[in-house]
Structure 1
Amino acid sequence: MRPSWWLRLFAALGFVVLLAPGALVALISISAGDFLTFPPPGFSLRWYRALLSNGTLMSALGTSALLAAIVSVLALLLGGPAAYAIARLEFPGRGMLEAMLSAPLLLPTLVLGLGLLLVLQPLGLAATWPGLVLGHCLVAIPFAVRIMTTAFATVPKELEAAAWTLGATPLQAALRITLPNAAPGAVAAAVLTFLVSFDETVISLFLVGPRLTTLPVEMFRYAERTTDPLIAALAMSLIVFAVLMVALVERLLGLTRAMGK
Structure 2
Amino acid sequence: MKPGLILRACALAGYGMLLAPAVVVFVVSFSAGQYLTFPPPGLSLRWYEALLGNGQLMLALQHSLVLAALVAALALAVGGPAAYAIARLRFPGRGVVATVLAAPLLLPTLVLGVALLLAFQPLRLVATWPGLVLAHSLVAIPFAVRIMVTAFSAVPEELEQAAWTLGATRWRAALRVTLPIAAPGAIAAAALAFLVSFDETVISLFVVGPRLNTLPVEMFRYAESRSDPMVAALAVSLIAVALAVVLLVERLVGFQRALGRE
Amino acid at match of 2:159: L
Q: Report the secondary structure of 1:75's partner residue.
A: helix
Q: Deviations over 1:102-125 (max 9, x none)?
A: 000000000000000001101111
What does residue 60 of structure 1 align with? 60
Alpha-carbon distance in structure 1 between the residues aligned to 2:235 and 2:130 = 27
How far has the Cα of 1:254 moved from its partner? 1.1
Taking every aligned residue pair, what percent have the same amino acid on both sides?
Answer: 69
Amino acid at match of 1:90: R
Deviation per residue, 1:31-81 (Å, 9 max, x gap): 000110111000001101110000000000000000000000000000100
Superposed, 1:26-37 pairs within 5 Å as 26-37=26-37
Give the aligned partner of residue 18 of structure 1. Answer: 18
Distance 1:155 1:3 in 2: 33
What is the Cα deviation at residue 207 of structure 1? 0.2
Shift of 1:151: 0.3
Q: How does 1:1-261 map to 2 (within 5 A)?
A: 1-261=1-261
Which deviations, in whole Å up to 9, do the C-alpha atoms of 1:144-203 show, x marking residues without a partner? 100000000000000000111111110000000000000000000000000000000000
- Cα offset for 1:244? 1.6
2:243 alignment partner AA = V
Deviations 1:191-225 (A, max 9, x none): 00000000000000000011011000000000011
1: distance between equivalents of 2:259 and 2:18? 23
For residues 253 and 47 of structure 1, the distance between their equivalents in structure 2, rounded to whole angstroms, comes to 35
CA contact (8 A) 1:147 1:259 kept: yes
Distance in 2 separating the partners of 1:176 and 1:12: 45
Distance 1:79 1:247 in 2: 23
Q: Whole-Å Cα distance in 2 between the matches of residues 240 and 129 of structure 1?
A: 25
TM-score, normalised by the number of residues in structure 2: 0.99
* Contact 1:70 1:133 (8 Å CA) reproduced: yes
* Amino acid in structure 2 at the alignment position of 1:130: P
| Structure 2 Cα separation of the partners of residues 89 and 218 of structure 1 | 44
AA matched with 1:109: T
Alpha carbons 1:32, 1:44 under 8 Å: kept: yes
- Distance apart, 1:251 and its partner CA: 1.7
TM-score (norm 1): 0.99
How far off its partner does 1:101 sit?
0.2
Contact 1:147 1:260 (C-alpha < 8 Å) held by counterparts: no
Q: Please report how far the alpha carbon of residue 90 of structure 1 lies from its aligned counterpart in structure 2 after TM superposition.
A: 0.4
Q: CA RMSD in A?
A: 0.6
Counterpart residue type for residue 109 of structure 2: T
5+ long unaligned stretches in structure 2: none
Length, aligned pairs only: 261
SS at match of 1:121: helix
Moved more, 251-260 or 9-18: 251-260
